[in-house]
Structure 1
Amino acid sequence: MRVVCAVILVFEAVVIGLFIPVAISLEGMAPTTAASLWGGMAAVALVLSGLQKRRWAHYAAWALQAAFLFTSFMVSGAMLIAVVFVSLWVTGVILGRRTDEMKAAHAARAEAEAAAQRGEDGGGSVTTAPSRQTR
């Protein structure tokens, strides 16, 4: 799950960064305001993508999704993009969890099969082949 979420955050950082020139040119927003708002969010998305192995970073990325959705009201047409990325995030979390569960089940099944094979061999005892007798 964490890998899928990290990839989504990297792509999201690029799109968030592209909101800066759109906000400046179409909405007439001050460059410093646009750069600090969406540039900061893009930087946070990149940092969080690298830290997805940590639980707190995953929850912080959820907060970033909410902030991204909230700030998209400031730029016309950005709401659709924000909804798409939040949907990708939710889908990535759901499918990532399912994938993690399937990997864990597969690993447990492989371990059980390996344990069963060790049990059939008599616990690792060495068997010798019958010797040939010459006449």
Structure 2
Amino acid sequence: MRMLCSTTLISEFFVVGFAGLVAMKNADLSVGTVWTVCGVVMVLCLLLCGMLGRRGAITVGWALQIGLILSGLAVGTMFFLGAVFAALWWASIHYGRVIDEAKARNAAQSA
């Protein structure tokens, strides 16, 4: 599960960076605000990759997905991309657990 979730988070890191570039063109937002918010989210994505084995990391990941969807208020396309990444996050968790269970079952059979 950790590998799939980490892949999703690293992809989100890049998407948030590109969304920051688009958001800079919004006259209602200051460049400092855009890059402060984007920087914090990008660092959170990276830190969360290393924390996926700990309790609460999946919940923080879901909060990140909700924040990504809500970033559509600043950059309209992010409503769609946030929903796509939320679906990828769910799939990473669901299928990652299925893969982990299969690996454990195979290890138990071979031992």
Q: Provide Cα deviations, 1:69-121, integer angstroms capped at 9, x if missing partner.
A: 1222221222111111111111111110110111111112112xxxxxxxxxx
Please give the alpha-carbon distance, in whole angstroms, between the structure 1 residues aligned to 2:62 and 2:78: 18
Match of 1:17 in 2: 17
Q: Which letter maps to 1:86?
A: A
Larger RCO, structures 1/2 (Cα 8 Å, 6+ apart): 2
1:99 aligns with 2:99: yes
What is the aligned-residue identity percentage? 31
Tell me if the contact between 1:69 and 1:82 (Cα under 8 Å) persists in the aligned partners.
yes
TM-score normalized with structure 1 length? 0.75
TM-score normalized with structure 2 length? 0.90
Q: CA RMSD in A?
A: 1.3
Which of the two has higher C-alpha Rg? 1
Q: Which letter maps to 1:81?
A: L
Please give the alpha-carbon distance, in whole angstroms, between the structure 2 residues aligned to 1:75 and 1:4: 26
Please give the alpha-carbon distance, in whole angstroms, between the structure 2 residues aligned to 1:53 and 1:67: 22
Aligned-pair CA distance for 1:59: 2.2
Structure 2: 5+ residue stretches without partners: none
Deviation beyond 4 Å, 4+ runs, structure 1: none
Please give the alpha-carbon distance, in whole angstroms, between the structure 2 residues aligned to 1:98 and 1:67: 27
**Residues matched between the structures, number:** 110
Tell me if the contact between 1:3 and 1:52 (Cα under 8 Å) persists in the aligned partners.
no
